[in-house]
Chain A
Amino acid sequence: MQRSKNDLWVGLLVLIGAVALLFLALQSANLLSLNMQSTYKVTARFDNIGGLKRQAAVKSAGVVVGRVDAISFDDKTFQATVIMALEKRYAFPKDSSLKILTSGLLGEQYIGIEAGAGDANLADGDRVQQTQSAMVLESLLSQFLYNKAADTPATNKP
Protein backbone atom coordinates (compact mmCIF):
# COMPACT_ATOMS: atom_id res chain seq x y z
CA MET A 1 0.00 0.00 0.00
CA GLN A 2 1.38 3.40 -0.94
CA ARG A 3 1.87 6.12 1.65
CA SER A 4 0.03 9.39 1.47
CA LYS A 5 0.08 12.65 3.32
CA ASN A 6 -3.30 11.80 4.76
CA ASP A 7 -1.53 9.11 6.81
CA LEU A 8 -0.11 11.80 9.06
CA TRP A 9 -3.44 13.53 9.63
CA VAL A 10 -5.41 10.35 10.24
CA GLY A 11 -2.66 9.19 12.58
CA LEU A 12 -2.99 12.47 14.42
CA LEU A 13 -6.76 12.06 14.65
CA VAL A 14 -6.40 8.57 16.12
CA LEU A 15 -3.79 9.90 18.54
CA ILE A 16 -6.07 12.72 19.68
CA GLY A 17 -8.85 10.19 20.21
CA ALA A 18 -6.53 7.96 22.22
CA VAL A 19 -5.43 10.89 24.37
CA ALA A 20 -9.05 11.88 24.95
CA LEU A 21 -9.97 8.34 25.95
CA LEU A 22 -6.97 8.12 28.25
CA PHE A 23 -8.00 11.41 29.83
CA LEU A 24 -11.50 10.07 30.36
CA ALA A 25 -10.22 6.77 31.72
CA LEU A 26 -7.83 8.37 34.18
CA GLN A 27 -10.09 11.38 34.73
CA SER A 28 -6.92 13.41 34.63
CA ALA A 29 -5.83 11.91 37.90
CA ASN A 30 -2.45 13.60 37.87
CA LEU A 31 -3.69 17.04 36.94
CA LEU A 32 -3.65 17.95 40.62
CA SER A 33 -0.04 17.05 41.18
CA LEU A 34 0.91 19.48 38.42
CA ASN A 35 -0.41 22.57 40.14
CA MET A 36 0.29 21.43 43.68
CA GLN A 37 2.90 23.29 45.68
CA SER A 38 5.57 21.26 47.45
CA THR A 39 4.09 19.51 50.44
CA TYR A 40 5.02 17.64 53.59
CA LYS A 41 3.24 14.55 54.79
CA VAL A 42 1.67 14.11 58.19
CA THR A 43 -0.14 11.03 59.46
CA ALA A 44 -2.92 10.70 61.99
CA ARG A 45 -5.07 7.92 63.39
CA PHE A 46 -8.81 8.21 63.67
CA ASP A 47 -11.28 5.89 65.36
CA ASN A 48 -13.78 6.54 62.61
CA ILE A 49 -13.30 8.60 59.45
CA GLY A 50 -16.94 8.56 58.40
CA GLY A 51 -17.22 9.44 54.72
CA LEU A 52 -13.77 10.96 54.30
CA LYS A 53 -12.28 10.34 50.86
CA ARG A 54 -8.92 10.70 49.19
CA GLN A 55 -8.30 14.22 47.90
CA ALA A 56 -10.58 15.65 50.58
CA ALA A 57 -9.52 19.07 51.80
CA VAL A 58 -7.56 19.75 54.96
CA LYS A 59 -8.67 23.13 56.27
CA SER A 60 -7.53 25.43 58.97
CA ALA A 61 -9.83 28.33 59.88
CA GLY A 62 -11.75 27.45 56.72
CA VAL A 63 -8.77 27.85 54.38
CA VAL A 64 -7.56 24.83 52.43
CA VAL A 65 -4.02 24.06 53.56
CA GLY A 66 -3.60 20.55 52.21
CA ARG A 67 -5.20 17.38 50.92
CA VAL A 68 -5.82 13.86 52.17
CA ASP A 69 -3.23 11.76 50.41
CA ALA A 70 -4.07 8.21 51.47
CA ILE A 71 -6.42 6.39 53.79
CA SER A 72 -5.75 2.90 55.11
CA PHE A 73 -6.87 0.63 57.91
CA ASP A 74 -4.49 -0.44 60.64
CA ASP A 75 -5.44 -3.88 61.97
CA LYS A 76 -3.13 -3.56 64.98
CA THR A 77 -4.94 -0.67 66.57
CA PHE A 78 -8.17 -1.06 64.55
CA GLN A 79 -8.01 2.54 63.59
CA ALA A 80 -7.92 4.36 60.28
CA THR A 81 -4.58 5.81 59.28
CA VAL A 82 -4.89 8.99 57.26
CA ILE A 83 -1.91 10.49 55.48
CA MET A 84 -2.25 14.17 54.67
CA ALA A 85 -0.13 16.32 52.38
CA LEU A 86 0.09 19.82 53.81
CA GLU A 87 1.48 22.74 51.86
CA LYS A 88 5.04 23.67 52.80
CA ARG A 89 4.28 27.35 53.29
CA TYR A 90 1.97 26.58 56.22
CA ALA A 91 3.55 25.36 59.46
CA PHE A 92 1.57 23.99 62.42
CA PRO A 93 2.70 23.29 65.99
CA LYS A 94 3.32 19.67 66.93
CA ASP A 95 0.43 19.59 69.40
CA SER A 96 -2.20 20.67 66.85
CA SER A 97 -5.39 18.64 66.85
CA LEU A 98 -7.39 17.23 63.95
CA LYS A 99 -11.16 16.92 63.58
CA ILE A 100 -13.21 15.38 60.83
CA LEU A 101 -15.90 17.91 59.94
CA THR A 102 -18.69 18.13 57.42
CA SER A 103 -19.28 21.10 55.16
CA GLY A 104 -22.97 21.85 55.41
CA LEU A 105 -25.58 19.32 56.39
CA LEU A 106 -25.11 17.02 53.41
CA GLY A 107 -21.76 18.24 52.15
CA GLU A 108 -18.60 16.25 51.90
CA GLN A 109 -16.26 15.70 54.79
CA TYR A 110 -12.93 17.38 55.38
CA ILE A 111 -10.27 17.52 58.08
CA GLY A 112 -9.99 20.63 60.22
CA ILE A 113 -6.73 21.50 61.93
CA GLU A 114 -6.76 23.44 65.14
CA ALA A 115 -3.35 24.86 65.89
CA GLY A 116 -1.79 23.99 69.24
CA ALA A 117 0.49 26.11 71.36
CA GLY A 118 3.77 24.18 71.17
CA ASP A 119 7.02 25.67 69.90
CA ALA A 120 8.13 22.83 67.61
CA ASN A 121 6.37 22.55 64.26
CA LEU A 122 5.10 19.47 62.49
CA ALA A 123 7.65 18.07 60.05
CA ASP A 124 7.50 15.54 57.24
CA GLY A 125 6.49 12.09 58.53
CA ASP A 126 5.23 13.27 61.91
CA ARG A 127 2.11 11.88 63.50
CA VAL A 128 -0.58 14.07 64.98
CA GLN A 129 -1.65 12.66 68.34
CA GLN A 130 -4.90 14.44 69.06
CA THR A 131 -7.69 13.45 66.72
CA GLN A 132 -11.43 13.53 66.87
CA SER A 133 -13.51 11.13 64.82
CA ALA A 134 -16.21 11.96 62.37
CA MET A 135 -19.71 12.40 63.66
CA VAL A 136 -21.68 9.40 62.54
CA LEU A 137 -25.32 10.32 62.28
CA GLU A 138 -26.61 6.88 63.28
CA SER A 139 -24.64 6.70 66.52
CA LEU A 140 -25.59 10.28 67.35
CA LEU A 141 -29.24 9.43 66.78
CA SER A 142 -29.13 6.22 68.80
CA GLN A 143 -27.35 8.05 71.61
CA PHE A 144 -30.03 10.71 71.55
CA LEU A 145 -32.85 8.16 71.53
CA TYR A 146 -31.19 6.21 74.34
CA ASN A 147 -30.94 9.32 76.48
CA LYS A 148 -34.49 10.21 75.64
CA ALA A 149 -35.70 6.77 76.64
CA ALA A 150 -33.77 7.01 79.89
CA ASP A 151 -35.33 10.41 80.58
CA THR A 152 -38.94 9.64 79.81
CA PRO A 153 -40.02 7.78 83.01
CA ALA A 154 -38.57 10.59 85.11
CA THR A 155 -40.41 13.32 83.27
CA ASN A 156 -43.64 11.35 83.14
CA LYS A 157 -43.84 11.07 86.90
CA PRO A 158 -46.41 13.43 88.35
Chain B
Amino acid sequence: MKWVSDLGFKTRQQLADLGHAARLFVRLLWLMGPTLRRFGLVRDQMHFLGNYSLAIISVSGLFVGFVLGLQGYYTLQRYGSSSALGLLVALSLVRELGPVVTALLFAGRAGTSLTAEIGLMKAGEQLSAMDLMAVDPLRRILAPRFLAGVLTMPILAAVFSAVGIVGGWVVGVVMIGVDPGSFWGQMQGGVDVWKDVGNGVVKSLVFGVTVTFVALLQGYEAQPTPEGVSRATTRTVVVASLAVLGLDFLLTALMFSI
Protein backbone atom coordinates (compact mmCIF):
# COMPACT_ATOMS: atom_id res chain seq x y z
CA MET B 1 0.00 0.00 0.00
CA LYS B 2 2.97 2.28 0.50
CA TRP B 3 3.63 2.81 -3.19
CA VAL B 4 0.02 3.87 -3.72
CA SER B 5 0.32 6.58 -1.13
CA ASP B 6 3.72 7.51 -2.62
CA LEU B 7 2.05 7.88 -6.00
CA GLY B 8 -0.69 10.03 -4.49
CA PHE B 9 1.86 12.24 -2.78
CA LYS B 10 3.88 12.67 -5.99
CA THR B 11 0.76 13.56 -7.96
CA ARG B 12 -0.32 16.07 -5.35
CA GLN B 13 3.16 17.61 -5.37
CA GLN B 14 3.17 17.93 -9.17
CA LEU B 15 -0.27 19.49 -9.13
CA ALA B 16 0.77 21.94 -6.41
CA ASP B 17 3.85 22.93 -8.44
CA LEU B 18 1.69 23.43 -11.49
CA GLY B 19 -0.71 25.53 -9.43
CA HIS B 20 2.10 27.70 -8.10
CA ALA B 21 3.42 28.20 -11.62
CA ALA B 22 -0.01 29.07 -13.00
CA ARG B 23 -0.68 31.53 -10.17
CA LEU B 24 2.68 33.22 -10.68
CA PHE B 25 2.04 33.42 -14.42
CA VAL B 26 -1.39 34.98 -13.99
CA ARG B 27 -0.05 37.49 -11.45
CA LEU B 28 2.83 38.43 -13.76
CA LEU B 29 0.41 38.97 -16.65
CA TRP B 30 -1.85 40.99 -14.36
CA LEU B 31 1.09 43.13 -13.24
CA MET B 32 2.18 43.95 -16.80
CA GLY B 33 -0.04 47.04 -16.94
CA PRO B 34 1.07 48.58 -13.63
CA THR B 35 4.70 47.74 -14.44
CA LEU B 36 4.55 49.70 -17.68
CA ARG B 37 3.96 52.84 -15.63
CA ARG B 38 7.25 52.28 -13.80
CA PHE B 39 9.18 51.89 -17.02
CA GLY B 40 12.48 52.84 -15.38
CA LEU B 41 12.73 49.39 -13.83
CA VAL B 42 11.86 47.70 -17.12
CA ARG B 43 14.37 49.84 -18.98
CA ASP B 44 17.23 48.82 -16.69
CA GLN B 45 16.32 45.16 -17.14
CA MET B 46 16.04 45.55 -20.91
CA HIS B 47 19.50 47.07 -20.86
CA PHE B 48 20.80 44.12 -18.87
CA LEU B 49 18.99 41.40 -20.83
CA GLY B 50 19.07 42.97 -24.28
CA ASN B 51 22.19 45.04 -24.79
CA TYR B 52 24.48 42.49 -23.20
CA SER B 53 22.96 39.67 -25.28
CA LEU B 54 23.38 41.60 -28.52
CA ALA B 55 26.97 40.48 -29.10
CA ILE B 56 26.36 36.75 -28.73
CA ILE B 57 23.14 36.97 -30.73
CA SER B 58 24.66 38.79 -33.69
CA VAL B 59 27.81 36.67 -33.80
CA SER B 60 25.74 33.47 -33.66
CA GLY B 61 23.40 34.84 -36.32
CA LEU B 62 26.33 35.62 -38.59
CA PHE B 63 27.78 32.13 -38.30
CA VAL B 64 24.42 30.42 -38.69
CA GLY B 65 24.00 32.49 -41.85
CA PHE B 66 27.46 31.44 -43.09
CA VAL B 67 26.68 27.77 -42.53
CA LEU B 68 23.25 28.05 -44.14
CA GLY B 69 24.85 29.68 -47.15
CA LEU B 70 27.47 26.96 -47.53
CA GLN B 71 25.21 24.04 -46.79
CA GLY B 72 22.28 25.40 -48.79
CA TYR B 73 24.52 26.02 -51.79
CA TYR B 74 25.94 22.50 -51.59
CA THR B 75 22.46 20.97 -51.71
CA LEU B 76 20.90 23.36 -54.21
CA GLN B 77 23.69 23.24 -56.78
CA ARG B 78 23.09 19.51 -57.22
CA TYR B 79 19.72 20.41 -58.70
CA GLY B 80 21.05 23.41 -60.58
CA SER B 81 18.93 25.78 -58.54
CA SER B 82 21.59 27.59 -56.55
CA SER B 83 19.80 30.81 -57.52
CA ALA B 84 17.22 29.96 -54.84
CA LEU B 85 19.89 30.21 -52.13
CA GLY B 86 18.63 33.57 -50.90
CA LEU B 87 15.11 32.23 -50.52
CA LEU B 88 16.34 29.16 -48.63
CA VAL B 89 18.48 31.22 -46.25
CA ALA B 90 15.81 33.86 -45.61
CA LEU B 91 12.93 31.45 -45.08
CA SER B 92 14.81 29.15 -42.74
CA LEU B 93 16.06 32.08 -40.69
CA VAL B 94 12.89 34.13 -40.51
CA ARG B 95 10.51 31.26 -39.88
CA GLU B 96 12.47 28.82 -37.73
CA LEU B 97 16.09 29.42 -36.86
CA GLY B 98 15.82 33.08 -35.93
CA PRO B 99 13.21 32.71 -33.16
CA VAL B 100 14.32 29.26 -31.95
CA VAL B 101 18.10 29.71 -31.79
CA THR B 102 17.65 33.18 -30.30
CA ALA B 103 15.37 31.73 -27.62
CA LEU B 104 17.87 28.98 -26.82
CA LEU B 105 20.72 31.49 -26.58
CA PHE B 106 18.52 33.84 -24.59
CA ALA B 107 17.76 31.05 -22.11
CA GLY B 108 21.47 30.41 -21.70
CA ARG B 109 22.63 34.02 -21.64
CA ALA B 110 19.80 35.88 -19.89
CA GLY B 111 17.53 33.23 -18.35
CA THR B 112 20.25 31.73 -16.19
CA SER B 113 21.25 35.12 -14.81
CA LEU B 114 17.61 35.87 -13.96
CA THR B 115 17.24 32.56 -12.13
CA ALA B 116 20.52 32.95 -10.25
CA GLU B 117 19.74 36.52 -9.28
CA ILE B 118 16.29 35.78 -7.93
CA GLY B 119 17.36 32.50 -6.34
CA LEU B 120 20.18 34.26 -4.50
CA MET B 121 17.83 37.04 -3.45
CA LYS B 122 15.59 34.37 -2.01
CA ALA B 123 18.50 32.55 -0.37
CA GLY B 124 19.69 35.82 1.18
CA GLU B 125 16.11 36.45 2.37
CA GLN B 126 15.99 39.72 0.48
CA LEU B 127 12.59 38.83 -0.91
CA SER B 128 11.23 38.18 2.60
CA ALA B 129 12.77 41.43 3.78
CA MET B 130 10.97 43.29 1.01
CA ASP B 131 7.75 41.60 1.98
CA LEU B 132 8.26 42.79 5.57
CA MET B 133 8.70 46.34 4.35
CA ALA B 134 5.39 46.03 2.51
CA VAL B 135 7.13 46.06 -0.88
CA ASP B 136 5.69 43.36 -3.08
CA PRO B 137 8.70 41.49 -4.55
CA LEU B 138 6.57 40.32 -7.45
CA ARG B 139 5.75 43.89 -8.37
CA ARG B 140 9.21 45.29 -7.69
CA ILE B 141 11.53 42.47 -8.83
CA LEU B 142 9.78 39.86 -10.96
CA ALA B 143 7.29 41.84 -13.05
CA PRO B 144 9.83 44.30 -14.56
CA ARG B 145 12.12 41.41 -15.47
CA PHE B 146 9.26 39.52 -17.07
CA LEU B 147 8.14 42.46 -19.17
CA ALA B 148 11.72 43.28 -20.16
CA GLY B 149 12.34 39.70 -21.29
CA VAL B 150 9.13 39.61 -23.32
CA LEU B 151 9.96 42.91 -25.01
CA THR B 152 13.60 42.06 -25.68
CA MET B 153 13.19 38.65 -27.33
CA PRO B 154 11.55 39.85 -30.60
CA ILE B 155 14.23 42.53 -31.01
CA LEU B 156 17.00 39.98 -30.58
CA ALA B 157 15.31 37.48 -32.91
CA ALA B 158 14.94 40.15 -35.61
CA VAL B 159 18.62 41.05 -35.25
CA PHE B 160 19.55 37.38 -35.47
CA SER B 161 17.58 36.83 -38.69
CA ALA B 162 18.82 40.02 -40.33
CA VAL B 163 22.46 39.35 -39.49
CA GLY B 164 22.01 35.74 -40.61
CA ILE B 165 20.73 36.82 -44.01
CA VAL B 166 23.74 39.10 -44.37
CA GLY B 167 25.93 36.11 -43.43
CA GLY B 168 24.25 33.97 -46.08
CA TRP B 169 24.79 36.76 -48.58
CA VAL B 170 28.49 37.01 -47.68
CA VAL B 171 29.05 33.29 -48.25
CA GLY B 172 26.64 32.83 -51.17
CA VAL B 173 27.22 35.95 -53.22
CA VAL B 174 30.59 37.35 -52.17
CA MET B 175 32.50 34.11 -51.66
CA ILE B 176 30.81 31.47 -53.85
CA GLY B 177 29.53 33.83 -56.50
CA VAL B 178 25.79 33.16 -56.67
CA ASP B 179 24.14 35.80 -58.82
CA PRO B 180 23.15 38.68 -56.47
CA GLY B 181 20.08 39.52 -58.54
CA SER B 182 18.55 36.09 -58.21
CA PHE B 183 19.70 35.85 -54.57
CA TRP B 184 17.75 38.95 -53.53
CA GLY B 185 15.08 38.68 -56.23
CA GLN B 186 14.03 35.14 -55.32
CA MET B 187 14.15 36.09 -51.65
CA GLN B 188 11.89 39.08 -52.18
CA GLY B 189 9.58 37.03 -54.34
CA GLY B 190 9.29 34.17 -51.87
CA VAL B 191 9.20 35.79 -48.43
CA ASP B 192 5.86 37.22 -47.35
CA VAL B 193 5.97 40.14 -44.91
CA TRP B 194 2.98 39.01 -42.83
CA LYS B 195 2.99 35.26 -43.26
CA ASP B 196 6.71 34.71 -42.76
CA VAL B 197 8.22 37.75 -41.05
CA GLY B 198 5.10 38.48 -39.00
CA ASN B 199 4.71 34.92 -37.79
CA GLY B 200 8.39 34.86 -36.90
CA VAL B 201 7.84 37.89 -34.68
CA VAL B 202 4.82 36.22 -33.04
CA LYS B 203 6.92 33.13 -32.42
CA SER B 204 9.72 35.11 -30.82
CA LEU B 205 7.18 36.88 -28.56
CA VAL B 206 5.81 33.52 -27.40
CA PHE B 207 9.33 32.23 -26.80
CA GLY B 208 10.18 35.41 -24.88
CA VAL B 209 7.22 34.79 -22.56
CA THR B 210 8.21 31.12 -22.18
CA VAL B 211 11.91 31.57 -21.47
CA THR B 212 11.54 34.54 -19.15
CA PHE B 213 8.71 32.94 -17.22
CA VAL B 214 10.56 29.64 -16.79
CA ALA B 215 13.65 31.50 -15.57
CA LEU B 216 11.69 33.59 -13.08
CA LEU B 217 9.68 30.62 -11.84
CA GLN B 218 12.77 28.50 -11.27
CA GLY B 219 14.42 31.33 -9.37
CA TYR B 220 11.33 32.08 -7.33
CA GLU B 221 10.69 28.45 -6.41
CA ALA B 222 14.36 27.54 -5.85
CA GLN B 223 15.51 25.95 -2.60
CA PRO B 224 17.14 28.83 -0.70
CA THR B 225 20.55 27.17 -0.56
CA PRO B 226 23.62 27.43 -2.84
CA GLU B 227 22.87 23.94 -4.08
CA GLY B 228 19.22 24.79 -4.72
CA VAL B 229 20.15 27.89 -6.72
CA SER B 230 22.61 25.94 -8.86
CA ARG B 231 19.97 23.27 -9.53
CA ALA B 232 17.40 25.90 -10.39
CA THR B 233 19.82 27.50 -12.86
CA THR B 234 20.43 24.19 -14.59
CA ARG B 235 16.70 23.47 -14.69
CA THR B 236 16.06 26.85 -16.30
CA VAL B 237 18.19 25.95 -19.29
CA VAL B 238 16.79 22.44 -19.62
CA VAL B 239 13.12 23.30 -19.14
CA ALA B 240 13.23 26.50 -21.19
CA SER B 241 15.03 24.82 -24.11
CA LEU B 242 12.65 21.86 -24.19
CA ALA B 243 9.63 24.15 -23.87
CA VAL B 244 10.88 26.32 -26.73
CA LEU B 245 11.49 23.35 -29.02
CA GLY B 246 8.12 21.78 -28.22
CA LEU B 247 6.26 25.06 -28.62
CA ASP B 248 8.07 25.70 -31.89
CA PHE B 249 6.70 22.48 -33.34
CA LEU B 250 3.20 23.40 -32.18
CA LEU B 251 3.41 26.95 -33.50
CA THR B 252 4.84 25.85 -36.84
CA ALA B 253 2.05 23.30 -37.22
CA LEU B 254 -0.54 25.97 -36.39
CA MET B 255 0.92 28.80 -38.48
CA PHE B 256 2.28 27.18 -41.58
CA SER B 257 0.12 24.10 -42.06
CA ILE B 258 -1.75 24.10 -45.32
Chain B binds chain A: yes
The contact of A24 among B40, B79, B161, B181, by CB within 8 Å, is B161
Chain A positions 1-15 with a Cβ under 8 Å from a chain B Cβ: 1-2, 4, 6-7, 9-10, 12-14
Chain B positions 167-207 with a Cβ under 8 Å from a chain A Cβ: 179-182, 184-189, 191, 193, 197, 200-201
Query: How far does the alpha carbon of A21 sit from the alpha carbon of B159 in the complex, in Å?
Result: 7
Interchain CB contact under 8 A, B188 and A24:
no
Shortest CB–CB separation between residue A101 and chain B, in angstroms? 14
The contact of B161 among A12, A20, A29, A32, by CB within 8 Å, is A20
Contacts of B47 in A (CB 8 A): 6, 9-10, 13
For chain A, the count of residues having a C-beta within 8 Å of the partner chain is 37
Shortest CB–CB separation between residue A123 and chain B, in angstroms? 23
Query: How far does the alpha carbon of A16 sit from the alpha carbon of B90 in the complex, in Å?
Result: 19
A154 at the interface (CB under 8 A from B): no
Interchain CB contact under 8 A, A53 and B185:
yes
B83 at the interface (CB under 8 A from A): yes
Query: How far does the alpha carbon of A43 sit from the alpha carbon of B179 in the complex, in Å?
Result: 23
Interchain CB contact under 8 A, B83 and A108:
yes
A150 at the interface (CB under 8 A from B): no
The contact of A56 among B90, B154, B185, by CB within 8 Å, is B185
Interchain CB contact under 8 A, B181 and A64:
yes
Interchain CB contact under 8 A, A103 and B80:
yes
Interchain CB contact under 8 A, A1 and B40:
yes
Contacts of A35 in B (CB 8 A): 180
Interchain CB contact under 8 A, A107 and B83:
yes
Interchain CB contact under 8 A, A55 and B185:
yes
Complex interface bits, A24-60 against B, C-beta within 8 A gives 1, otherwise 0: 1101110110010000000000000000011111000
Query: How far does the alpha carbon of A76 sit from the alpha carbon of B43 in the complex, in Å?
Result: 60
Interchain CB contact under 8 A, B197 and A24:
yes
B97 at the interface (CB under 8 A from A): no
Interchain CB contact under 8 A, A25 and B43:
no
Interchain CB contact under 8 A, A4 and B181:
no
Shortest CB–CB separation between residue A28 and chain B, in angstroms? 7
Interchain CB contact under 8 A, A17 and B182:
no
Residue of B nearest to A29 (CB): B188
B50 at the interface (CB under 8 A from A): yes
Interchain CB contact under 8 A, B44 and A13:
no
Interchain CB contact under 8 A, B94 and A24:
yes
With contacts A105-B80, A106-B80 known, is A17 near B39, CB below 8 A?
no
- Jot down 24 A-B pairs with beta carbons below 8 A, ordered by A: A2-B40, A13-B46, A13-B51, A13-B155, A14-B155, A17-B155, A21-B158, A21-B201, A24-B165, A24-B200, A25-B193, A27-B165, A27-B184, A27-B188, A27-B191, A28-B165, A54-B189, A55-B184, A56-B181, A57-B181, A103-B80, A104-B80, A106-B80, A107-B83
Other A-B pairs, 20, CB within 8 Å; known A21-B197, A56-B181: A2-B40, A10-B47, A10-B50, A13-B46, A16-B54, A17-B155, A17-B158, A20-B163, A21-B158, A24-B197, A25-B193, A29-B184, A31-B184, A32-B184, A56-B185, A104-B80, A106-B79, A106-B81, A108-B81, A108-B182
Interface residues of A (CB under 8 A from B): 1-2, 4, 6-7, 9-10, 12-14, 16-17, 19-21, 23-25, 27-29, 31-32, 35, 53-57, 64, 67, 103-108
